[in-house]
């Protein structure tokens, strides 16, 4: 058993707001010495499954995950085999993660800037015994106050803490990671809570410019898909602000 760096809650070009491809992920994992990465694209597992095979060739293990939008906010499922459909109830989403023998992970339980994606407080309380991990720091938190409040929620709900990079761009990869004792991905899954509890969290402040890159990534995706009506609405909404 050796110590490695693990990074949780990351995105690829298979998310609507990221253009990160497998080569940039490989490059940054090597530079930052990340040996285990959880790919959790928005409402999709296709990229995680593809990149898992690619990155394995370079001795980097991938946890296949999905950041699922429910009817009350986002939930992450880790160690998934199949895509979970978005916009279902929280109950049904959690049930389907469990049916795949997955890990239930609550991202950014507090964030005023991204409040539309935060899981409803009532649902957090209702499902506190179902949730395996909750973020106490998210790499995209604009203000430290958000991390402080996330930790307060974790302590109040008594759910195991974790940190997520929420990386959408290559400049964010490898900045927020956990140093863990590790042998292989199967053993890690079976003992994840014990391993994370004994591990060291490495946190960094948000790179605010990354949010700007994300906005341009969304525009590029809309143009590629020919979604010009949606593009117009997005630009018009921004201009009104």
> Which tokens sit at 40?
């959790």
> Which tokens sit at 226?
């020919």
Per the structure, the complete domain to which residue 218 belongs is given by 208-241
96-130 pLDDT per residue, tens: 999 999 999 999 999 999 999 999 999 999 999 99
- Same domain for 10 and 118: yes
CB under 8 A, 24+ apart: contacts of 149-156: 149/110, 150/108, 150/109, 150/110, 153/109, 153/110, 153/124, 154/109
Across 120-145, average pLDDT = 98
| Predicted local distance difference test score (pLDDT) of residue 23 | 97
- Same domain for 143 and 40: yes
- Same domain for 223 and 178: no
Strands 200-202 and 177-182: antiparallel
Mean pLDDT of the chain: 95
43-96 pLDDT per residue, tens: 999 999 999 999 999 999 999 999 999 999 999 999 999 999 999 999 999 999
φ and ψ at residue 120, rounded to 5 degrees: -50, 135
- Same domain for 203 and 218: no
45-58 pLDDT per residue, tens: 999 999 999 999 99
pTM: 0.94
- Same domain for 88 and 6: yes
What CATH number is associated with residue 145? 3.20.20.140
- Same domain for 219 and 200: no
- Same domain for 111 and 35: yes
φ and ψ at residue 209, rounded to 5 degrees: -60, -25
- Same domain for 229 and 180: no
The closest of 94, 106, 206, 212 to 159, measured between CA atoms, is 106
Number of domains in the chain: 2
Stated length of the chain: 241
């Amino acid at each position: 058993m050796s110590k490695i760096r693990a990074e949780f809650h990351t995105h690829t070009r298979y998310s609507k707001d990221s253009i990160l491809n497998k080569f940039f992920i490989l490059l940054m994992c090597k530079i930052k010495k990340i040996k285990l990465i959880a790919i959790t694209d928005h409402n999709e597992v296709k990229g995680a499954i593809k990149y898992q095979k690619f990155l394995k060739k370079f001795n980097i293990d991938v946890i296949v995950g999905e950041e699922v939008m429910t009817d009350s906010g986002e939930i992450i499922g880790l160690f998934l085999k199949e895509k979970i459909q978005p916009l279902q109830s929280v109950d049904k989403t959690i049930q389907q993660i469990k049916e795949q023998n997955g890990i239930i992970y609550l991202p950014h339980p507090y964030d005023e800037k991204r409040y539309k994606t935060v899981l409803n407080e009532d649902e957090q309380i209702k499902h506190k015994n179902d949730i395996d991990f909750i973020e106490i720091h998210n790499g995209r938190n604009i203000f430290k106050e958000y991390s402080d409040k996330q930790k307060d929620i974790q302590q109040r709900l008594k759910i195991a803490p974790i940190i997520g990079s929420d990386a959408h761009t290559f400049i964010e990869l490898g900045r927020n990671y956990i140093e863990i004792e590790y042998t292989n991905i199967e053993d890690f899954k079976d003992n994840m809570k014990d391993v994370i509890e004994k591990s060291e969290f490495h946190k960094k402040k948000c790179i605010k410019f990354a949010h700007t890159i994300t906005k341009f990534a969304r525009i590029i995706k809309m143009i590629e898909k020919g979604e010009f009506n949606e593009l117009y609405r997005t630009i018009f909404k921004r201009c009104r602000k």
